[in-house]
Chain A
Amino acid sequence: MNSIKTIIANVIAIYRRELQSYFASPFAYIIAGVFWLLSGFFFVAILMGPEGLIAQAALRDQMGITTPPVDVAYQFLSYFLGILGSLALFILPMLSMGLYAEERKRGTLELLATSPLTNWVVALGKLLGVVTFFLTMVLPLLIYQAIALSAANPPAPITVMLLGHAGLILMAAAILSLGMFISSLTDSTILAAILTFGLILLLWVVDLVATSIGGGLGDALGHLSLIKNYTTLTQGILDTSSLIVFLSYILLGIFLTAQSIEAFRFQRS
């Protein structure tokens, strides 16, 4: 009982410190700013650009095409979430790169490692912190989407919107968890960012590789693909296997991080 309370208190302590350091870092604001700028640009381009969805729908109306009916809101959501997913690919390694590399460089890992905390408590607290920061980056986007989609007819599919964004956060958590592991392997933040980017690019396109391999192995590899599982969710399909894949990545990342910190302490010379 008491120990569970202690564990939760420790996770919260690490979480708060991590989150606080993002909000105190000018670098994090720059990343958030770029993310908001780009996502805002794509929002306008997809919806209201010359080739945008509204222009296309208007064109169809003019030409008198009524079947099949277009659901602009639904189409918009799946496009826009796809773009957000791709943006996240570039943004997330920059958020996760410092999680452990900075601690190693500053020597604060020695403080954490000699405090009565287990490695996975530290890893979990850090992951929750960085995921929360990404969540605060996504929340403002939800507001302007809600405003735009409230005008949609047929009405915007609210479940697709929520599920899609939940999928985005879940995928981000999976990427950040793996990024955290890579960050724990080095004390260079730049190296951590590059390696993380390489790894998630690989996981992003692994279904292309899978299709070319084919067979049972290809099938298995296909399930690991981030984009495939993410697209399932952004289409509004609550697929348990996709959730399990993302959760597995998250747990794997935390587990590997805890192991690598343990190994780092045991092998350092």
Chain B
Amino acid sequence: MIEVEQLSKLYGSTPAIQDVTFSVEAGEILGFLGPNGAGKTTTMRILTGYLPATSGTARIAGFDVHEDSMAVRKRIGYLPETPPLYGDMTVEGFLHFVARIKGVAAGDRSKRVELAMRRCNILEKRQVLIRKLSKGFRQRVGIAQAIVHDPPAIILDEPTVGLDPRQIIEVRNLIKSLAGDHTIILSTHILPEVSMTCSRVAIINRGRVVATNTPEQLMAQLAGGSGYELEVEGDTAALAARLHRLPGIRTVEIGSGEGLPKSRSQVRLTLEPGMDPGREIAATVVGSGLGLYEMRRVRVSLEDVFLELTTEEKAMDGSTAAPSSDANNTDAAPDSPGGEAA
């Protein structure tokens, strides 16, 4: 449905995105995950035809976003980071206007507007001036204008930013309900958001897509995190407890590795982000009277990206999130996606 190949965009000589490549199948929700300034908005603006790419191609429903811009524009719904709303119009009047400029046939307009309002749950506000709406309702009107012409592809730039937790849940449910009929790309810098709404995730950092996968697999990769793999010989009964006492150790897993002699075991350690107690680990193993045959660093390339991501819902409004608590939450959040209720 959406194919992006080797897309690059330079502002002057500064690259905003470089060689961005990904594709989205029909009916999928792709989460575009990355820290602020990673190039999410730039990529989306290129997809919608708002900005031209410096090089590379992007196709939506088979049409090139640059060559066949008008054909693409008819087939996409787009919610920019700030919802594009006219405060002096009523919700219904505005949606009629959007339906008209998006080329919805005159006979279908009322039906489409009605449907969009029902889906976004704004029917009771239909005659209200948009400038009198609360932030949450504005966001829903923003989504309604993106779906009013029933486009095959919907592009949402940070659809939940600035909403309160209850509104966030509503908007996410709304987006999920749109999948299937529509292909959706949404961008976010909130890690748990993708696991809750998206069927696939593309992680973008400093203008490059660094990983594309399902949320589950990415979380697993993240949970594996950065750590060490050790091969030790001897009685490991007391080792786990000792290792746990070291600073920066998150999990310790001791098992009989495949193809290892019976006397040897394999130890997998995962570390707290930003901690690297390699020296202490080795000292502890040796100090326990065990033989250390192998000690290997296991590095996950995504770690840097995840450190910059907002990993907890409450940190969004947030000045209070200290770096240390943020780091601790990196591992906590994926395990408890329901934590947003707090």
A93 CB to nearest chain B CB (Å): 21
B147 CB to nearest chain A CB (Å): 14
Contact in complex: A269, B102 (CB < 8 Å)? no
Contact in complex: B49, A106 (CB < 8 Å)? no
B residues near A39, Cβ cutoff 8 Å: none
A residues near B70, Cβ cutoff 8 Å: 116
Contact in complex: B86, A115 (CB < 8 Å)? no
- Chain A stretch 79-122: residues in CB contact (< 8 A) with chain B: 106-117
A residues near B86, Cβ cutoff 8 Å: 17, 21, 106, 108
B residues near A112, Cβ cutoff 8 Å: 101
In the bound complex, CA of A6 to CA of B52 (Å):
25
In the bound complex, CA of A108 to CA of B97 (Å):
12
- Chain A stretch 139-181: residues in CB contact (< 8 A) with chain B: none
Contact in complex: B84, A111 (CB < 8 Å)? yes
- A116-B102, A116-B103 as given contacts; A107 in contact with B84, CB under 8 Å: yes
Q: Give 1 or 0 for each of A17-44: 1 = CB within 8 Å of chain B CB.
A: 1001100110000000000000000000
- Chain B stretch 81-100: residues in CB contact (< 8 A) with chain A: 82-89, 93, 97-98, 100
A266 CB to nearest chain B CB (Å): 6
* Between-chain CB contacts (< 8 Å), 24 pairs: A10-B100, A13-B97, A13-B100, A17-B86, A17-B89, A20-B88, A21-B88, A25-B88, A106-B82, A107-B80, A108-B85, A108-B86, A110-B50, A110-B78, A110-B80, A110-B84, A112-B101, A113-B49, A113-B50, A114-B48, A114-B73, A115-B102, A265-B52, A269-B12
B residues near A109, Cβ cutoff 8 Å: 84
In the bound complex, CA of A266 to CA of B76 (Å):
20
In the bound complex, CA of A106 to CA of B86 (Å):
8
Contact in complex: A115, B89 (CB < 8 Å)? no
Name the CB-closest residue of B to A110. Answer: B80
In the bound complex, CA of A123 to CA of B164 (Å):
38
Task: Tell me whether B172 is interfacial, beta carbon within 8 Å.
Answer: no
A260 CB to nearest chain B CB (Å): 15
Task: Tell me whether A9 is interfacial, beta carbon within 8 Å.
Answer: yes
Name the CB-closest residue of A to B93. Answer: A20
Which of B51, B73, B83 makes the CB contact (< 8 A) with A115?
A: B73
Contact in complex: A115, B101 (CB < 8 Å)? yes
In the bound complex, CA of A174 to CA of B52 (Å):
32
Name the CB-closest residue of B to A111. Answer: B84
Contact in complex: A17, B84 (CB < 8 Å)? no
Which positions in B face A, CB cutoff 8 Å? 11-12, 48-52, 70, 73-74, 76, 78, 80, 82-89, 93, 97-98, 100-103, 145
In the bound complex, CA of A13 to CA of B100 (Å):
7
Task: Tell me whether A14 is interfacial, beta carbon within 8 Å.
Answer: yes
Interface size class of A (residues with CB under 8 A): 20 to 34
Contact in complex: A116, B84 (CB < 8 Å)? no
- A110-B80, A269-B11, A269-B12 as given contacts; A117 in contact with B101, CB under 8 Å: yes
A111 CB to nearest chain B CB (Å): 4
In the bound complex, CA of A65 to CA of B239 (Å):
124
A residues near B76, Cβ cutoff 8 Å: 114
In the bound complex, CA of A116 to CA of B103 (Å):
8
A residues near B85, Cβ cutoff 8 Å: 106, 108
Which of A25, A116, A268 makes the CB contact (< 8 A) with B101?
A: A116
A residues near B97, Cβ cutoff 8 Å: 13, 16-17
A residues near B88, Cβ cutoff 8 Å: 20-21, 24-25
B residues near A17, Cβ cutoff 8 Å: 86, 89, 97
Contact in complex: A114, B101 (CB < 8 Å)? no
B residues near A106, Cβ cutoff 8 Å: 82, 84-87
In the bound complex, CA of A199 to CA of B7 (Å):
42
In the bound complex, CA of A107 to CA of B52 (Å):
18
Contact in complex: A107, B82 (CB < 8 Å)? yes
Question: Of residues A9, A114, A266, which shows the largest number of chain B Cβ atoms within 10 Å of its Cβ?
Answer: A114
